[in-house]
Chains A and B, each alone.
Chain A
Amino acid sequence: MASSYQAVMGRQNEIMKRAVGFDYQQFEQTSLAFDYEAMMDATGFDLAQVRRVQALTGVGNTPLYELRNITKLARRLAPPGCGARIFLKDEACNPSGSFKARRAAISVYQAKQLGYEGVIAATSGNYGAAVASQAAMHGLKCIVVQEVYDSEGVGQPEILEKARACEAYGAEVCQLTVGPELFYVFLCLLEETGYFNASLYTPYAIAGIETIGAEIAEEILARTGRYPDAVVVTHAGGGNVTGTARGLRKAGATTTRVIGASVDLHGLHMASDGDFNRKSFTTGHTGFGVPFATWPDRADVPRNAARPLRYLDQYVTVTQGEVFYTTEMLAQLEGLERGPAGNTALAAAFAIAQTMPADQMLVVQETEYTGAGKHPTAQLTFARQRGIEVRRGDPRSSQPGRSIIIPERPEQIRVQEYPLDDLRRSYLRNALRQVKNRQLSQLDVDFLRADSRARLELIEQVAAEQQVRLP
């Protein structure tokens, strides 16, 4: 069979169908709309079953800490009567050191049930180690495909560590230089091996995250007598937001606000060889957070089960320097040394808690393991070697790829609001490009409203701009 880029990309649908053991076609409704909830239900796993599967490999039921010292500090800086109680779900306690074990647990279990010999995941993040660890537990083979080097052969320290972890669990790690053709290599490997696509974005993977939301809701309720007022989620590909929000709702926490937080990396091109090593965060950043919110179906499955605009009540960004500072804060005030990328939501929560009444509760829903490469000192040393300025000052003056400004004082940690309507507008533009004959049906409009939570007026506005007619 032809193996050129175009030829393999052209066989994408057949390759995927065989590799996910799931027919997405059955949920399609129009050229635009599909039945999201039916797709989510089709996994056949309800929350109780997901819990049982995760329990088989010791995934989940991670500790929930109340961050008393950080809360006390936030209250010192907050206006009188403000400073919500901050809690932290310590997801680093999962077998592979991050919440990604929850996602991998269901995908790998399903691959085993369906009789696949192995699993493949395309990821430069913690998900690789999670899949490799679960594959080891279930006796399946595992390949992880990573984007890790620039054209000079210089690797991101954080990703090099993740490769080491995958190999420690017995996986074959295919390490690529920068470029979106990672997806092409991924397809070639799926075709060659016949392994299962343990994508981050299948309904199985998202069902696996729902248990975080449910555990948070139940544990806060048991400890305090009510549900949390808000949960802050580090947002990248959208699965963390989607799964956590769905889990909260399933457990009854229907009014808890879901706040997404990403590290601001504006101006850095994610597919650029030159920009690749100028960032000090390889996940949890706007380079994934924005494109995946505004067009979820760019993922490695025909329909992405991670659809963050359905669930986000607020989206904020923080700077790289603020997250490194907060990582120090967590280690030194709470005695928890954790990886920086997982603390993105914590940096945001520290600022947001100061705007909430003191009798409210805010939960940060993840941490990740730390180690060589995945550590503020490793990443700042690497940044300095690349000529990036590192200094203390006002983090607002930092420029991604040029400078990292570590706050001088905790009150300098501030979130930047990213208006959800901006994300919705670009989501709608992307979506309306899919519409045949420039005519929307009522089903399309209903889908767009559910998928983006855009007001009808916004849909009308973007449709007019794109010369698409409403029903």
Chain B
Amino acid sequence: MLEAKVYPPGTWVEICRIVLAPGERAPQVPADTASVPLELRVKGFLQEPASLGQEAVVTTLIGRTQKGIVTRINPRHTHDFGEPVPELLPIGMELRRLLEGNDDGK
């Protein structure tokens, strides 16, 4: 088996920890939420060498210390503009036609 890669101190990582286990959740939450833990993710710089899946301590952007399991290394922002949406694409042309009066609206 391959040895898990160890990342040096100072590596920018995301860690995750369970704040409330399913049995500890607030009484008012709906059943689907009550059956899963409340998790917290935060990013920071590794204080000691660590690998993915290991517990680690990080220093956050404001210098605080947070502890959790390393879930991502140098985490990339993956949100984007999505795909072109065929339902939206023609709207501009349709509206301009209406505005210019070349469309009787039917």
A residues at B contact (CB < 8 Å): 4-5, 69, 72-73, 76, 118, 141-143, 149, 151, 155, 157, 160-161, 164, 167, 170-181, 184-185, 193, 269, 271-274, 324-325, 328-329, 331-333, 372-373, 375-382, 390-392, 406, 409-411
- Report whether B99 and A76 are in contact in the complex, using a CB–CB cutoff of 8 Å: yes
Find out whether the CB atom of B98 lies under 8 angstroms from the CB atom of A73.
yes
- Residues of A close to B92: CB separation below 8 A: 328, 331-333
> For residues 35 through 70 of chain B, which have their beta carbon under 8 Å from a beta carbon of chain A?
36-44, 60-64, 66
Q: Which of A172, A391, A409, A411 contacts B42 (CB 8 A)?
A: A172
Complex Cα gap A372–B82 (Å): 8
Q: Which residue of A lies closest to B28 (CB)?
A: A180
Give the contacting residue for A179; candidates B38, B43, B64, B101; CB below 8 A: B38
In the complex, chain B residues whose CB is within 8 Å of the CB of A172:
42, 44, 60-62, 64, 66
User: Which residues of A sit under 8 angstroms from B40, Cβ to Cβ?
Assistant: 174-176, 185
Most buried by A among B39, B78, B82, B84: B82
Q: What is the bound-complex CA distance between A172 and B101, given in angstroms?
A: 52
Quote the shortest CB–CB distance from A430 to chain B (angstroms). Answer: 15
Question: Does B88 lie within 8 Å of A328, measured CB to CB?
Answer: yes
- Alpha-carbon gap, A69 to B19, bound state (A): 51
Residues A381 and B85 in contact in the complex (CB < 8 Å), given A73-B95, A171-B61: yes
Contact of A380 among B39, B66, B87 (CB under 8 A): B87
| A173 B19 Cβ-Cβ under 8 A | no
Task: Tell me how many residue pairs across A and B have CB atoms closer than 8 Å.
Answer: 159
B94 surroundings in chain A (CB, below 8 A): 409
The 8 closest A-B pairs by CB, nearest first: A381-B82, A332-B92, A373-B79, A151-B36, A172-B60, A378-B82, A141-B62, A328-B91
* B42 partner residues in chain A, CB cutoff 8 A: 172-175
Contact of B81 among A178, A377, A390 (CB under 8 A): A377
Whole-angstrom distance between the Cβ of B85 and the nearest chain A Cβ = 5
9 A-B pairs with CB atoms under 8 Å apart are A151-B37, A157-B82, A161-B79, A171-B62, A172-B42, A172-B60, A179-B29, A372-B77, A391-B87
Interface of B is mostly: loop
Q: B85-106, CB under 8 A of A: which get 1 and which 0? A: 1011001101110110100010
CA distance A372 to B17 in the complex (A): 27
Give the Cβ gap from B21 to chain A, nearest Cβ, in Å: 11
Cα A117 to Cα B83 in complex, Å, equals 43
Minimal Cβ-Cβ distance residue in A for B60: A172
Cβ of B32: which chain A residues have Cβ within 8 Å of it?
272-274
Known contacts A73-B98, A141-B62; A375/B81 CB under 8 A? yes
Contacts of B66 in A (CB 8 A): 172
B106, closest chain A residue (CB): A409
Q: A4-B24, A181-B38 are in contact. Are A160 and B79 (CB under 8 A)?
A: yes
Determine the chain B residues whose CB is within 8 A of the CB of A4 once the complex forms. Answer: 24
Contacts of A164 in B (CB 8 A): 77, 79
> Is B74 interfacial (CB-CB < 8 Å)?
no
A376 touching B98 by the CB < 8 A rule? no
Closest to A392 in B: B87
A181 touches B82 (CB 8 A): no
| CB–CB A170/B62 < 8 A | yes
Give the residue of A73, A181, A269, A381 whose beta carbon is less than 8 angstroms from that of B20: A181
Query: What is the bound-complex CA distance between A193 and B43, given in angstroms?
Result: 18
Given contacts A76-B99, A181-B25, A272-B33, contact A176 B39 (CB under 8 A): yes
The answer for the CA separation of A176 and B20 in the assembled complex, in Å, is 11
Q: Which of A69, A160, A193, A324 contacts B77 (CB 8 A)?
A: A160
B88 touches A375 (CB 8 A): no
Assembled-state Cα–Cα distance A328/B91 (Å): 7
